[in-house]
Amino acid sequence: MSDPGPQGLTSDGDGDGTRAVRAGLPEPVKYEPTLPGPVFAAHFHLPGEPTGPYTYGRDENPTWTLLERAVGELEAPGEDGVETLVFASGMAAISSVLFSRLRSGDAVVLPSDGYQALPLVRAQLEAYGIEVRTAPTGGDAQLDVLDGAKLLWIETPSNPGLDVCDIRRLASEAHARGALVAVDNTLATPLGQRPLELGADFSVASGTKQLTGHGDLLLGYVTGRDSEAMSAVRGWRKIVGAIPGPMEAWLAHRSLATLHLRVERQSANALAVAEALQDWPEELGVRYPGLPADPSYAIASRQMRGFGCVVSFTLPTRARAERFLDTLRLVDDATSFGGVRSTAERRGRWGGDAVPEGFIRMSVGAEDPEDLVADVLRALDESAG
């Protein structure tokens, strides 16, 4: 395989679409593919001293390298000194930051309304003697419990409630009080929001979702600019072996080329669905950061360049919600979000989110918006009886 040196984007080609299509590609070499295939290797030829970049498959892999450079170019375009590390899943990436930075006696602030697995993380942190404080995402409430914390974990927009906090404000306050800041950027993607530009130390995400967008792989990543902190994250990845397979990494990199197309289409579709739900005669408590009437709109419109593909709303009862989901024809009843095919679920079925029994989280795909809106409104109507 040729040297995977990055192709630099010129000032004439720095738009999000151009960047997504070309991110992380190696310099062109005659007769070699534009994006080299996955490198399957547990070990590499290694005569003499181990001074090269690739020694053993748990440490580095050329396919990871290309993907990591690509994600770094999307998360922090044009910025030197930023490093990205890829992981086997979003939870592996989240765990790497938390457990590499925190020690017994430290305090960490987590969102009380964040991703469903965070309570499991909290239990493990507390078992290690780490103090865990929580506060809601909305209203920048985490500021109230920040004093003395070593790390602030932000999830904005929050999943599944879609509240938004002011990243720049929270990061500034956290740094003034001696805390590092990590932002879960899964729902926004790097094309919708760039946490490092807003002052965060880490941007963390599950690549399982809209980043790759096809629901066919698990992946996570951490991007950061502090070399010491990222070295600790790298060490944690090595210790626990939370590494992605080369095929998953290659598929993820291939999928990045359509990220801008998917984000634009899915965001526009999500807004169309949210507007239709908002106009429905029943009060559904619709949440979508891109709706001007949404409580999060003012902050989201300042710090986000796109509002994501997830819409939430609440039906009166569990039975109504289940009838609604059963009646949908173009929307699959499935968990996760971000795929090109629309999905929805009654989120309360998992038991880990503080949401009403009839709460629906819908991930809006890339279908024709008229078809999606018609399907959702038909299902609402037919499930009402």
Q: Tens of pLDDT along 27-60?
A: 999 999 999 999 999 999 999 988 889 999 999 9
What secondary structure letter does DSSP report for 22?
H
d(CA 95, CA 273) in angstroms, rounded, equals 34
pLDDT tens digits along 5-35: 444 443 445 899 999 999 999 999 999 999 9
For residue 203, name the pLDDT band (cuts at 50, 70, 90).
very high
Q: Residue type at 245?
A: G
pLDDT tens digits along 176-196: 999 999 999 999 999 999 999
pTM here? 0.94
d(CA 69, CA 64) in angstroms, rounded, equals 8
Specify the pLDDT at position 146: 98
d(CA 182, CA 114) in angstroms, rounded, equals 13
d(CA 368, CA 333) in angstroms, rounded, equals 19
d(CA 337, CA 99) in angstroms, rounded, equals 26
Task: Work out the average pLDDT over 152-175.
Answer: 98
Task: Work out the average pLDDT over 248-276.
Answer: 98
